[in-house]
Copies of this chain bind each other. A is one copy, B any other.
Amino acid sequence: MAFGDQPAYLRVADDLRKKIAAGELPPHARLPSQARIREEYGVSDTVALEARKVLMAEGLVEGRSGSGTYVRPQLVPRLLSRAGYHGSGPSSPFRQEQADDRVIGTWDAVSEQEEAGPETAERLGIEPGDRVMRTRYLFRSGGEPVMLSTSWEPLAITGRTPVMLPEEGPLAGRGVVSRMAALDLVVDNVTEEVAARPGLAEEVLALGGVPGHAVLVVSRTYRAGGRPVETADVVVLAERYRVAYHLPVK
């Protein structure tokens, strides 16, 4: 059973990984099926399955039900430019990125009122339970989902105004700064925090990634005169994006 003090499924996974690294199994190639692995390596169905699972967890291969297990092309991480807000031009992180990469993107957005949780309240400088407008975004690039975002705005600020819904009304999709300007609020301060954590099953599923893989989370807060007017989390797959900043030197 054991072979060099290594579980059987790891031994099989190592061998397949070597073949991928050596180019013997190039991108988009199909791996031997579970049944073939069972024969070739003289192992059980479970071991063949576990070995494939290891490679899938590593993001090297991708299983397609009914078809086969395929080598994933290793993609070069793209840049998510966060060079600060530019008054003229696209404003959301995604629209910025479009401008940078000349990639045509689409997105869906759903807004809903809710009561602020403790963390949201903390970030917006309001009390837990205060009402906020939560908007969930799903951004696509070339049809593929690439970025999730959730924004929160205090209804104490936007409630019963034309800009209450970020993606509707006269300034739909124009960005936080423009919309707040319509309320005579001058956004003069942005903080962003970049973190990485294992992606939740839901997030990874939506982004077409591998369960357990890391996501980058950019937590952004817009402020007007010290008062938070919007806060948002942007979630992308860590293996697909780097977050780029251009900083001033004072």
Contact = CB atoms under 8 A, between A and B. Distances in A.
Contacts of A249: 84-85, 87, 177, 187-190
20 contacts: A54-B211, A58-B198, A58-B201, A83-B247, A84-B247, A87-B249, A187-B249, A190-B246, A190-B247, A190-B249, A194-B216, A194-B244, A194-B245, A195-B216, A195-B242, A195-B243, A196-B216, A198-B214, A214-B214, A248-B248
A212 B57 contact: yes
Nearest to A211: B57
Contacts of A189: 246, 249
B85 A247 contact: yes
A159 to B, nearest CB: 24
Contact of A192 (B177, B200, B247): B247
A191 B245 contact: yes
Given A58-B212, A216-B194, A238-B195, A250 B201 contact: no
A87 B190 CA distance: 21
Nearest to A88: B250
Interface of A: 10, 13, 54, 57-59, 77, 79, 82-87, 177, 187-201, 211-212, 214, 216, 219, 238-239, 241-250
Contacts of A187: 249
Contact of A214 (B82, B238, B241, B247): B238
A246 B242 CA distance: 18
